Amino acid sequence: MCIRDSIDTANHIAAYAAKAARVQVVAAYPITPQTSIVERIAELVENGELSAEYIRVESEHSAMSACIGAAAGGVRTFTATSSHGLALMHEALHWASGSRLPIVMVVVNRALGPGWNIWADLTDSISQRDTGWIQFYCADNQEVFDTIIQAYKLCENEQVLLPAMICLEGFILSHTYMPVKIPDQEKIDEFLPPYKPKWFLDINNPLSHGNIVTPDWYMDFRYMMYEAMENAKKLIPEIDKEYGRQFGFEHGELVDKYKCEDADLILLTMGTIGSEAKVAVDNLRREGLKIGSARIRVFRPFPTEEIRKLAENTQMFTVIDRAASLGMEGPLATETKASLYNQEDKPLIAGFIAGLGGRDVTFKTVEKIAKKSLEWMKKGKVEKETSWVDVRD
């Protein structure tokens, strides 16, 4: 297997992944900090490295609409957005999933305003969790490349046929250079063959698509989407393992677990906080503290069964969210509690909200959170169900 080494930003790596996936239609609209993805794709199309139709649209809603039309026409599509651009797509996101179109989109996570902020915050993509899109959250640039390729293989599977967003944090990954290994194109083609839809819009063979659905059928269509998500939950680990066998990189399937086997306390995170958590775990282990880390790689479908397995052998979960559901708590904390509601002997669960608007969450921050959690674990009671980290009094 031939592998090319590249040192580049996650945004440029996402563009190279779209090229490697041989996407046929790219809908492009700029928004910080996503813009350099579609800029790099434009360069690849212009210089002949990528044979694709590049559509410059007038808004993010139009970008998704163009992808919907192209995907319904039977071709592999790609786009990327951030923050308010993703919010503007909201209606079209439902259209894409309800139409069972395997669109792949990169979301460069950015805070929602006002106040205006261009730095990392998962609230933009978490706000779209009920649109029927599969959601991946990446921890480094290699995972960005690999997950885009894996997502096409997953979404185009007849058991799934749903769209997916690949989420990466603005500036923390989007503009940070990291070494990435890009496999030989021939090998990627073997892993991800051309998309062959069972149906597509064809003027020579007309059909009705996305039409009115009466109460007799609408609920059944939604249940089919539910089943597709359950199928995705089974296929994601298989695809990650297959990718690992062929290219040497696996990313934890649904949950990237680190030193959880004997952990009294497990840190549940998403995205790049998961990388910081691994460093914190190593440091705390050297102090004799039995801490583990579980990075939730896939938020939709939510890995309920994996959470329950982890809960069987630990005393406490500490959940660190880079998002807040205002009026409740961190979304990952809510999902974790819901997953364990009917289970006996549940561990203690403490929720922490950190890093909103790009505020740094380093391994030192994670260590501080873990030590506070251990204090509560020893007392057998979580004194504060949701704690906001490092906010001004």
Whole-angstrom distance, CA of residue 369 vs CA of residue 373 = 6
- Output DSSP code: residue 56: E
Across the range 25-35, mean pLDDT stands at 98
Instruction: Please provide the DSSP assignment of 182-198 as one string.
Output: EE-HHHHHHHSPPP--S
Whole-angstrom distance, CA of residue 202 vs CA of residue 207 = 8
pLDDT tens digit sequence for 161-219:
999 999 999 999 999 999 999 999 999 999 999 999 988 999 999 988 888 999 999 99
Phi, psi for residue 218 in degrees, rounded to 5 = -55, -45
Say what the pLDDT of residue 1 is.
Answer: 61
pLDDT tens digit sequence for 102-156:
999 999 999 999 999 999 999 999 999 999 999 999 999 999 999 999 999 999 9
pLDDT tens digit sequence for 340-353:
999 999 999 999 99
pLDDT tens digit sequence for 325-376:
999 999 999 999 999 999 999 999 999 999 999 999 999 999 999 999 999 9
Q: 285 CB contacts (<8 Å, ≥6 apart)?
A: 259, 291
Task: Provide the β-strand partners of residue 267.
Answer: 293, 318
Global pTM reads 0.97
Say what the pLDDT of residue 211 is.
Answer: 87
